[in-house]
Structure 1
Amino acid sequence: MLQERESLEFDILFIGAGPANLASAIHLQHMVKRHNSLSKNPLDPAIAVIDKGRYAGAHLLSGALLDPKTFDEFFPDYRIQGCPVDTAVSNESIWYLTKKRKFLFPYVPELFSNKGKLLVSLSRLGAWMADEAQKDGIQLLDNTSASLPYIENGRLAGIVTDDKGLDKNGHKKANYEPGILLKTKAAVIGEGSDGSFFRKVCEHFPISTETIPQRFECGVKETWRIPPGRLVAGEIHQMFGYPLSSDVYGGGWLYALSSTLISIGFVTSLEPALPFCDPHLNLQHFKEHPLLAKILEGGSMIESGARTITSGGADAMPPLYGPGFLVVGETAGMVNMQRHKGLHLSMKSGILAAETLFESLLHNDFSTSQLETYSDRFKSSWAYDELYAARNYRGAFDHGLYSGLLHAGLQLKFPGLSITESFGKQPLDKKNALQQKKSSLITGKDTLTPDGKITFSKTESLYRSGTKHEENQPCHLLIKPDDIEEICLKKCMIEFDNPCRHFCPAQVYEIILNPHPTLKLNPSNCLHCKTCETVDPYGIITWTPPEGGGGPGYKLS
């Protein structure tokens, strides 16, 4: 019961320690300090950031190419202050791959160009930003999951953190600690893709039906150390084609953070209607291409991870505010799939949220009408203009690779162009499409034998992610017993042959056939990528945060 819990009170509470919320907290504190240096009525807000990772940056993973535009606006001396920028883009290329061959695009269109952009490790960037926030007097509560929203007087008035020390059956262990009630005047929700806490908030404050459903991709990434002399620091390559068929959206990258440290990864579309996919497998086959295998040969994979990517664009964004809360970053859909970038947009949303909250503190006004000004600020910003212009890019590839490329080319001349729905699209025979994707997946698995040198099993990749969980705790992947019995072990087995066995990058889901069909869950494997929840064809999997501190331990991703 809430009345039995310890409680703490804050003026502003940030849920999630990603780049959006950290930028927001830092900028807000800077504005407060500037105000106090000039005003006879100083502000002294209590500001805190909570995060479920066991340390700052532990759950942050991205490519990552950073457009420094937002940093230049709110933290112009970030490099002088020690921001861990690896290098700037030195040269770039786009390749189309077949199984054995490569075709270089003659030039990189300006809209896709990364000239002047920075190569960073997002986990290292997040750790640095968290340190800067703490230097500014902001409290960071790591190892802390937002478990439940606390609603009071028709508004979000706080959160309940996770209970610690429960066993698999929900019984209290000797080290049991009940979650704490954190009260706040305003919460900023920035959990990344497919936010679990935001979903619970939306149960109390439903999203308008005018918003189209969000969509997702899965990115699987590895960080490698390679022998010198093969790449130049700042060299980046974007690739599409192999190993995907022309009807599947996705592609890969290779970024040289230095001459010997590289980021390599692959993005796979997640389609609940056609759930036969294996993002981890796609990355392994991608690395087998001669262009990449030659670069990786003799190197060592030192870190691996996965996460979902929000890709619905401007039209799928949820409302950015509600009673007592603001929504920022990728939870709000701040990703430009045309540029394959979101960090600068996420941080910009955080900056605009900070400016809104500063006005709230200044006038002691946290009403919904005041918080709504954040949405107005966003719609008047360059971030909105960028997202709006790219709003139809991802959807064009629903018609296949070639019509998508044509559409993308036309959008270079006519931003935001949307070709008629039927253009380039063949009538969908779902039964045949399912069979084709299933056959393709089986063929892909049958033709890969991980060698432990360039290609790896899911077990080995999981080990390189640093993932740890308390084993004896309630399962955080919620599936109703009736759904397991009637859908997982009957309907899904017949219709889709249980694709959860394939699409999860961490082998969380297993089907045991003997002595009778059983779904076995391995929740301690979970990478917190949320692929399962977003591509589940029946929508019966609910991902909830496990005990705070669990999950991956990224340091270079």
Structure 2
Amino acid sequence: MNTEPETVEFDILFIGAGPANLTAAIHLRRLLRHHNAMAPDPLEPSIAVIDKGRYPGAHLLSGAILDPRALREFMPDYLERGFPSGPAVSEEGIWYLTKNRKLRFPSIPEAFSNRGNTLCSLSRVGAWMAELAEKEGIDLFEGTAAVGTVVEDGRLIGVLTDDKGVDKNGTPGPAYEPGLVLKARATVIGEGAGGSLTAELDRIFNLHPPGAARNQETGMKECWRIPSGRISAGTVRHTFGYPLPSSRYGGGWIYALSDTELSVGFVTSVERHAPAADPHLNLQRFKEHPFVRSLLEGGTILEAGARTITSGGYDAMGRISGEGFLLVGESAGMLDMRRLKGIHLAMKSGMLAAETLFEALCQDDFSAGRLAGYEKQFRTSWAHDELALARSYRQAFDRGIYHGLLQTGISLKFPGAGLAAGKAESTTKTSDPALESRKEMAALEKAEQAHRPDGTLTFTKADAIYRSGTVHEENQPCHLRISSEDMAAICLDRCRREYGNPCTRFCPAGVYELTDGGGALRINASNCLHCKTCEAADPYGIITWTPPEGGGGPGYKIS
């Protein structure tokens, strides 16, 4: 049996088929076509996109409200070309919720307004863009996971893809196919939040400044079909408050994709210094609020999913290029937490990356200095200006929601004041985060005991997994790695004493389960939604999320 990986070479390789990389690949191909129409020596580079989802859009999840600014730059005739647009935002509001009541904000600050934006399904957008890319002659390989980097002489020269047909003990089976070494002159990383290759490049190339607060939040989403007459297409609702305590950042959304189709979701901060949270439970309790229940009762859930969101902001971005590679979209940290939007920034980063790669191809120069032109272009773009304005929005809430609202109000009234100037505060809430976690775990247990999913409005984690379309090859190595030493010394001893094993709560899919009366930790890897919450929230940093065999994971179609 041949176990040696074959090497395949490309000029440009894109990792991840999200809006950033698909925009980049299509824009690059168009730049080349325009160049070749006039140049005596045409350029014909090989361009490929790989994605671990089993079909285009399978792993793409967002609210989603799209700011069309970048899309109009990228493709002015996007509507004529069949872009899967939802309705324009027609009416919006922000509410503060208590357990049974709601208080509407009298007005929406301009910085938070969605006027001129449109609702959409990101998975549908990804599928549409993938079709455009293939029409442009770009090779797209779905079901192919990049599991490691190939670095030579201080330069990224390619990636390793996943082996197929390896059993749970790591033994090649009868259908075994070794992974490939995909080499490229330049590799563009667009994995979204919490990408495994991005983390590996960070360790190798020291991309982030020391102490950078690379925060992440977990977003839970459900799509519903409801009776007509309750809400109008294009209506947008954002909430904060219930069911979160004032010390934890997060909030809910309701987007009317049509008169009968809703996107309903909830964002919860789950971080290493504050890991005791249950994003799934928060969404279920959010739906029980009379404000939300009145919209959903009698309706049918269509799809569910989860994803982490990059929330560190501008000051936590770090370098977005290096020897042989570029980072785009959320892999580069480009998400505006103030507006809770990143699709337009991802597309813009893809356009800038494509223009940098085009120049590199024209000059036959892929040095780090040439690729650093991408960072220079970003710093003179509107994407940079938008992110810089929102640079410390998220950090303002580290002292609680009321402090955050006050600081946000001050920064909007007096631009450049306080945290808006980038003076991020410490993310440590107490001198003893473990003590705080144990208190929050006790409150979670109490909330769980009081909450009983009814199967019509509220659901279990198992229900959510089913409605996400998640599938994995059962007989494969566990892709959530904890060493046996850490399992015994930390998970079953130290973490139990200090934090109360928050992994059993913060995972939206119930992957981590205590068994044998708490004497063993079972990892139900086949449940994994690929949200990456565990790696971001693990207080000891001992969980390593690695891509499972390509094609595994959720199968989103309308999210």
TM-score greater than 0.5 by the shorter chain:
yes
Q: How does 1:467-486 map to 2 (within 5 A)?
A: 467-486=470-489
Please tell me whether the aligned partners of residues 211 and 317 of structure 1 are also in contact (alpha carbons under 8 angstroms). Answer: no
Matched, 1:508 2:485: no
Q: What SS does the corresponding residue of 1:57 show, helix, strand or coil?
A: coil
Deviations 1:138-193 (A, max 9, x none): 00010000112112333111111100000000001000000011111000001000
The aligned amino acid for 2:520 is: T
Q: 1:43 to 1:127 in 2, by over 3 A?
A: same
What is the aligned counterpart of 2:442 among 439, 444, 448? Answer: 439
For 2:378, the equivalent position in structure 1 comes to 378
For 2:183, the equivalent position in structure 1 comes to 183
Q: How does 1:64-103 map to 2 (within 5 A)?
A: 64-103=64-103
Q: C-alpha distance in 2, partners of 1:173/1:421?
A: 51
Q: C-alpha distance in 1, partners of 2:412/2:40?
A: 52
Q: C-alpha distance in 1, partners of 2:3/2:456?
A: 55
For 1:264, the equivalent position in structure 2 comes to 264
Q: What SS does the corresponding residue of 2:318 show, helix, strand or coil?
A: coil
What is the aligned counterpart of 1:465 among 459, 464, 468? Answer: 468
Q: C-alpha distance in 1, partners of 2:3/2:446?
A: 57
For 2:539, the equivalent position in structure 1 comes to 537
Q: C-alpha distance in 2, partners of 1:422/1:3?
A: 51
Note the C-alpha offset of 1:432. 5.2
Note the C-alpha offset of 1:283. 0.2
For 1:301, the equivalent position in structure 2 comes to 301
For 2:492, the equivalent position in structure 1 comes to 489
Q: How does 1:367-406 map to 2 (within 5 A)?
A: 367-406=367-406
The aligned amino acid for 1:492 is: C
Please tell me whether the aligned partners of residues 320 and 332 of structure 2 are also in contact (alpha carbons under 8 angstroms). Answer: yes
Matched, 1:518 2:520: yes
Q: C-alpha distance in 1, partners of 2:329/2:508?
A: 24
Q: 1:183 to 1:422 in 2, by over 3 A?
A: closer
For 2:52, the equivalent position in structure 1 comes to 52
Q: C-alpha distance in 1, partners of 2:261/2:344?
A: 23
Q: How does 1:541-552 map to 2 (within 5 A)?
A: 541-552=543-554
Please tell me whether the aligned partners of residues 212 and 316 of structure 1 are also in contact (alpha carbons under 8 angstroms). Answer: yes
For 1:212, the equivalent position in structure 2 comes to 212
Q: C-alpha distance in 1, partners of 2:396/2:36?
A: 50
Q: C-alpha distance in 1, partners of 2:346/2:211?
A: 20
Q: C-alpha distance in 1, partners of 2:459/2:281?
A: 9
Deviations 1:62-107 (A, max 9, x none): 0000000001111111111001001110100000000000111111
For 1:198, the equivalent position in structure 2 comes to 198
Q: 1:365 to 1:422 in 2, by over 3 A?
A: closer
Deviations 1:210-263 (A, max 9, x none): 461311000000000000000100000000000011111000000000000110
Q: TM-score, normalised by structure 2?
A: 0.97
Please tell me whether the aligned partners of residues 226 and 300 of structure 1 are also in contact (alpha carbons under 8 angstroms). Answer: yes
For 1:131, the equivalent position in structure 2 comes to 131
Q: C-alpha distance in 2, partners of 1:210/1:535?
A: 19
How many pairs align?
Answer: 556
Please tell me whether the aligned partners of residues 435 and 498 of structure 2 are also in contact (alpha carbons under 8 angstroms). Answer: no
For 1:38, the equivalent position in structure 2 comes to 38
Deviations 1:337-356 (A, max 9, x none): 00111111111111100000
For 1:449, the equivalent position in structure 2 comes to 452
For 2:106, the equivalent position in structure 1 comes to 106
For 2:530, the equivalent position in structure 1 comes to 528
Q: How does 1:412-427 map to 2 (within 5 A)?
A: 412-419=412-419
Structure 1 spans left out of the alignment, 5+ residues: none
For 1:23, the equivalent position in structure 2 comes to 23
The aligned amino acid for 1:266 is: F
Q: C-alpha distance in 2, partners of 1:227/1:403?
A: 39
Q: C-alpha distance in 2, partners of 1:127/1:291?
A: 33
Q: What SS does the corresponding residue of 1:55 show, helix, strand or coil?
A: coil
For 2:234, the equivalent position in structure 1 comes to 234
Q: C-alpha distance in 1, partners of 2:316/2:481?
A: 26
The aligned amino acid for 1:89 is: V
Note the C-alpha offset of 1:513. 2.6
Q: C-alpha distance in 1, partners of 2:434/2:156?
A: 45
Q: What SS does the corresponding residue of 2:418 show, helix, strand or coil?
A: coil
Note the C-alpha offset of 1:431. 5.8
- Which stretch has the larger CA shift, 146-155 or 278-287? 146-155
Please tell me whether the aligned partners of residues 2 and 181 of structure 1 are also in contact (alpha carbons under 8 angstroms). Answer: no
Q: C-alpha distance in 2, partners of 1:289/1:518?
A: 36
Computed over aligned residues only, the root mean square deviation of the Cα atoms, in angstroms, reads 1.8
Q: C-alpha distance in 1, partners of 2:545/2:429?
A: 34
Please tell me whether the aligned partners of residues 219 and 279 of structure 1 are also in contact (alpha carbons under 8 angstroms). Answer: yes
Note the C-alpha offset of 1:416. 4.7
Please tell me whether the aligned partners of residues 222 and 303 of structure 2 are also in contact (alpha carbons under 8 angstroms). Answer: yes
Q: 1:231 to 1:49 in 2, by over 3 A?
A: same
Q: C-alpha distance in 2, partners of 1:489/1:399?
A: 31
Note the C-alpha offset of 1:429. 5.5
Q: C-alpha distance in 1, partners of 2:208/2:247?
A: 32
Q: C-alpha distance in 2, partners of 1:68/1:25?
A: 19
Q: 1:200 to 1:241 in 2, by over 3 A?
A: same
Note the C-alpha offset of 1:427. 6.1
Please tell me whether the aligned partners of residues 392 and 418 of structure 1 are also in contact (alpha carbons under 8 angstroms). Answer: no
The aligned amino acid for 1:8 is: V
Q: 1:202 to 1:421 in 2, by over 3 A?
A: closer
Deviations 1:456-509 (A, max 9, x none): 000011100000000000000010100001001111111122111111000111
Q: C-alpha distance in 2, partners of 1:3/1:296?
A: 53
Please tell me whether the aligned partners of residues 390 and 416 of structure 1 are also in contact (alpha carbons under 8 angstroms). Answer: no
Q: C-alpha distance in 2, partners of 1:493/1:525?
A: 23
Q: C-alpha distance in 1, partners of 2:210/2:93?
A: 39
Please tell me whether the aligned partners of residues 96 and 240 of structure 1 are also in contact (alpha carbons under 8 angstroms). Answer: yes
Q: How does 1:245-324 map to 2 (within 5 A)?
A: 245-324=245-324
Note the C-alpha offset of 1:4. 2.9
Q: 1:39 to 1:426 in 2, by over 3 A?
A: closer
- Which stretch has the larger CA shift, 194-203 or 519-528? 194-203
Please tell me whether the aligned partners of residues 396 and 418 of structure 1 are also in contact (alpha carbons under 8 angstroms). Answer: no
Q: What SS does the corresponding residue of 2:444 show, helix, strand or coil?
A: helix
